[in-house]
C-alpha cells in the first residue's frame, strides 16, 4: 500500500461558490418558468428492484445487491436508471474495498445522470472513493459539489463530515457551513481514510509538480500505515453477530498473551496468526469476528482487526465495549518487553485515533484500568502510561501555541 502525496491545497478552485452559483441559476430558471419543458432538476423515479438492491446492500448482502445492480446496468435501460445502477455498483465496490472499481463505476454514474439528487449521490460516493485512494483534493471537490444538492439529511451530514475531518487533518480552515452541518456526527466507518494518511504534528515540505510553486504544509501529517483486513485474507464478519459501533470515546490497550504454540506463529507469520485468531473467535467463541479493532505485531506493523464500524469484543462485557476501540499488541508483556517498533507504532496509532475521534488522552486505558485482569502486562502498562503522558503534553503544546 503506497502512501499518496497530498496535493498543495491552493490549487483547488473555489467550487463551492461555482456550484452555489450554478444551483442559484437553475432555481432562477425554474422560478421564471421558462417554457413548458420539464425543469432540469428531474426527480428520477427509482425502480423497485433498485430500492431492494439498496436494502440488500445496507444489510451487508453485497453479492445480492451487486447482481441486481449489474442486471439494471444494461444499454437498453434509460441513462438515469443506468446511472443509479452504477451508483449501486460503486457502493458495492466501496463496501468490499475495491477502490479503483468504485471510482470507475461512480465516474460513469456521474456522466449518465443529469443535475439533481442522484447526481449529488454519485458525487458523494465518488468523493469518498477518491479520499480512500489518496486523491485528497479531487475527493474534496466531489464532496463540495455533492453537498448543496443532497436531499437526504444523513447523506448531507456525511458529506459535511468528510469535508470537515479531511480539512482538519490537513490543517486547513473549515468553512462554517460544513462544520455546523457535521455537528457532532460520528461515522466510524470512515476512520481508515485518515488513519492511512495522517497524524498531526510534524512539518512536511511537499515538492509540487514542475511549474507549480513548492508549498509548505505546517502541522501536516506524518503517515501511518494500517494493513487492511484483505492483507491477511480475513474472512468477512458474521454481520448478524456484530453490532454497530457507537461514537468512539475511549481506547483500551491489551496484550494477546497467547499459548506458546500460537505465540511463535504471531512472530513468524502475523497474517496466518491473525487468521487463526479470527477462526478461534468466530468458531470456538461463536463471535461475529476477531475481537480487537487493531493489532500490532512484533515487527511494528499495524493490522486492521474488526472493522471499526462494529463494536469490539475485548474489554469484557457490552457496557465496557461500548464506544471502546480495542488495540492488542501481540505478545505477553508480563514476561517480556514489547519491541521498540511495537511501542513506536502504538504511540502513532494512539495519536492518530485520538486526533481523528477527538478522544482525550485520559480516556486511553490499559485493560487492567477497567477490570480485574493482568492485561496488558506490567511492562506494557508502564510504557502505556508514558505514551499517554506524552500525548497529554503534546496536546497542551498545540493548544497554547
Which residues lie near Zn ion (CB under 5 A)? Answer: 254, 367, 375
Q: Which is nearer to Zn ion, 255 or 301 (CB)?
A: 255
Task: Find where cell 492483507 sits.
Answer: 231
Rg of the chain taking only CA atoms, in angstroms? 23
Shortest spacing between CB 331 and Zn ion, in angstroms: 12
The per-residue b/e assignment along 276-294, b for 16 or more CB within 10 angstroms, e otherwise, is bbbeebbeeeebbbbbbbb
Shortest spacing between CB 327 and Zn ion, in angstroms: 10
Gap between the Cα atoms of 117 and 152, Å rounded: 9
Identify whether the C-beta of residue 307 lies closer than 8 Å to the C-beta of residue 237: yes
Shortest spacing between CB 302 and Zn ion, in angstroms: 18
Q: Which is nearer to Zn ion, 276 or 368 (CB)?
A: 368
The pairing of strands 302-304 and 226-227 is parallel
Shortest spacing between CB 373 and Zn ion, in angstroms: 6
Alpha helices in 33-152 (DSSP H): 48-58, 62-72, 79-95, 99-112, 117-133, 136-146
Q: Which is nearer to Zn ion, 375 or 387 (CB)?
A: 375
Shortest spacing between CB 242 and Zn ion, in angstroms: 19
Packing angle of the helix pair 260-268, 270-282 (nearest 10 deg): 130
Residue closest to 302 by CA, chosen among 252, 348, 253: 348
Shortest spacing between CB 375 and Zn ion, in angstroms: 3
Q: Which is nearer to Zn ion, 118 or 321 (CB)?
A: 321
Q: Which is nearer to Zn ion, 200 or 248 (CB)?
A: 248
Q: Which is nearer to Zn ion, 121 or 254 (CB)?
A: 254
Backbone torsions φ then ψ of 236, nearest 5 degrees: -65, 155
Q: Which is nearer to Zn ion, 307 or 324 (CB)?
A: 324
- H or E element that contains 271: helix 270-282
Shortest spacing between CB 326 and Zn ion, in angstroms: 8
Amino acid at each position: 500500500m503506497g502512501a499518496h502525496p497530498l496535493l498543495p491545497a491552493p490549487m483547488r478552485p473555489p467550487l463551492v461558490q461555482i456550484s452555489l452559483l450554478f444551483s442559484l441559476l437553475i432555481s432562477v430558471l425554474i422560478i421564471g418558468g421558462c417554457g413548458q419543458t420539464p425543469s432540469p432538476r428531474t426527480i428520477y423515479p427509482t425502480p423497485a428492484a433498485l430500492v431492494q438492491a439498496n436494502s440488500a446492500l445496507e444489510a451487508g448482502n453485497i453479492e445480492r445487491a451487486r447482481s441486481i445492480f449489474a442486471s439494471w446496468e444494461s444499454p437498453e435501460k434509460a441513462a438515469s436508471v443506468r446511472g443509479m445502477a452504477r451508483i449501486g455498483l460503486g457502493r458495492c465496490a466501496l463496501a468490499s474495498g475495491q477502490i479503483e472499481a468504485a471510482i470507475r463505476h461512480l465516474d460513469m454514474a456521474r456522466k449518465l445522470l443529469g443535475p439533481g439528487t442522484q447526481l449529488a449521490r454519485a458525487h458523494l460516493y465518488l468523493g469518498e472513493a477518491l479520499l480512500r485512494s489518496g486523491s485528497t483534493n479531487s475527493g474534496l471537490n466531489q464532496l463540495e459539489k455533492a453537498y448543496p444538492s443532497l436531499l437526504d439529511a444523513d447523506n448531507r451530514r456525511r458529506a459535511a463530515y468528510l469535508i470537515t475531518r479531511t480539512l482538519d487533518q490537513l490543517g486547513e480552515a473549515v468553512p462554517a457551513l460544513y462544520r455546523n452541518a457535521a455537528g457532532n456526527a460520528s461515522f466510524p466507518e470512515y476512520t481508515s481514510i485518515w488513519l492511512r494518511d495522517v497524524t498531526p504534528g510534524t512539518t512536511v515540505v511537499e515538492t509540487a509538480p514542475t511549474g507549480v510553486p513548492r508549498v509548505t504544509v505546517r502541522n501536516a501529517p506524518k503517515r501511518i500505515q494500517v494493513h487492511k483486513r484483505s492483507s491477511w485474507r480475513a474472512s468477512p464478519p458474521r454481520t448478524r453477530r456484530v453490532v454497530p459501533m457507537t461514537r468512539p470515546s475511549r481506547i483500551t490497550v491489551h496484550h494477546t498473551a497467547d499459548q506458546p504454540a500460537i505465540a511463535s506463529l504471531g512472530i513468524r507469520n502475523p497474517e496466518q496468526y491473525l487468521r487463526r485468531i479470527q477462526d478461534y473467535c468466530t468458531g470456538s467463541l461463536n463471535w461475529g469476528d476477531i475481537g480487537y479493532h487493531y493489532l500490532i505485531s512484533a515487527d511494528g506493523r499495524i493490522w486492521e482487526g474488526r472493522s471499526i464500524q462494529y463494536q469490539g469484543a475485548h474489554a469484557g462485557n457490552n457496557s465496557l465495549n461500548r464506544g471502546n476501540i480495542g488495540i492488542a499488541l501481540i505478545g505477553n508483556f508480563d514476561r517480556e518487553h514489547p519491541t521498540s517498533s511495537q511501542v513506536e507504532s502504538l504511540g502513532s496509532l494512539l495519536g492518530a485515533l485520538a486526533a481523528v475521534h477527538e478522544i482525550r488522552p485520559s480516556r486511553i486505558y490499559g485493560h487492567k484500568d477497567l477490570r480485574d485482569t493482568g492485561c496488558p502486562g506490567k511492562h506494557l502498562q508502564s510504557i502505556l502510561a508514558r505514551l499517554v503522558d506524552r500525548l497529554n503534553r503534546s496536546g497542551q503544546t498545540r493548544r497554547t501555541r
